[in-house]
Structure 1
């Protein structure tokens, strides 16, 4: 896997995704290799390597991202009754691009 799958593959169109919600600065789509029965990823279209590297200048983007996560989580919760939202840091973060998982169900693997 590339260091930044989201910039290298998703945002440049090399890997096609099933979009759930998109704004000018944020993309939410069904995970390409889901770990849960419902597994959606939300990413900023701007490269930000992780939650820990956010800067004050990213505040508006972060609010937009959280708004998209909230909308998607509301859709999943409406349909399935619950969901989980998570992000990974450090060695847990396979792709070094800030991304959030919105998921429902028990792990598939």
Structure 2
């Protein structure tokens, strides 16, 4: 069983325990507004399947990865159209506070530490 501190996305978001404002949803991917945003516009993109990190992706998950990147692309296009720029990022290892692969798509200055 995964520790809640390590997998907020499975334990809270995907289970429905923490409601989120959905931006885009497909069969295998969920994009939603960050529950505690660090930036003016801050969206998180996650696979619905638990994958710990981008370095843990298996060959049989390549279709999910394509779906994730298509969702990231669509979200980034909308954000770029709205603001003229955005950042897409993911973290690995000690930089990854949540041990469920996730991507941040954001625009604007950091609004909190």
TM-score (norm 2): 0.95
2:8 match:
5
User: How far 1:83 sits from its partner (Å)?
Assistant: 0.2
User: In 2, distance between residues paired with 1:103 and 1:3?
Assistant: 22
Residue 101 (structure 1) aligned with residue 94 (structure 2): no
User: How far 1:12 sits from its partner (Å)?
Assistant: 0.2
Residue 62 (structure 1) aligned with residue 65 (structure 2): yes
User: In 2, distance between residues paired with 1:31 and 1:88?
Assistant: 15
- Structure 2 unaligned residues grouped into runs of 5+: none
User: How far 1:2 sits from its partner (Å)?
Assistant: 1.6
User: In 1, distance between residues paired with 2:92 and 2:70?
Assistant: 21
Residue 36 (structure 1) aligned with residue 63 (structure 2): no
User: Is the 8 Å Cα contact of residues 2 and 8 (structure 1) preserved in structure 2?
Assistant: no
SS of 2:31 mapped into structure 1: strand
2:49 match:
46
1:83 match:
86
- Structure 1 unaligned residues grouped into runs of 5+: none
Q: 1:26 aligns with which of 29, 32, 37?
A: 29
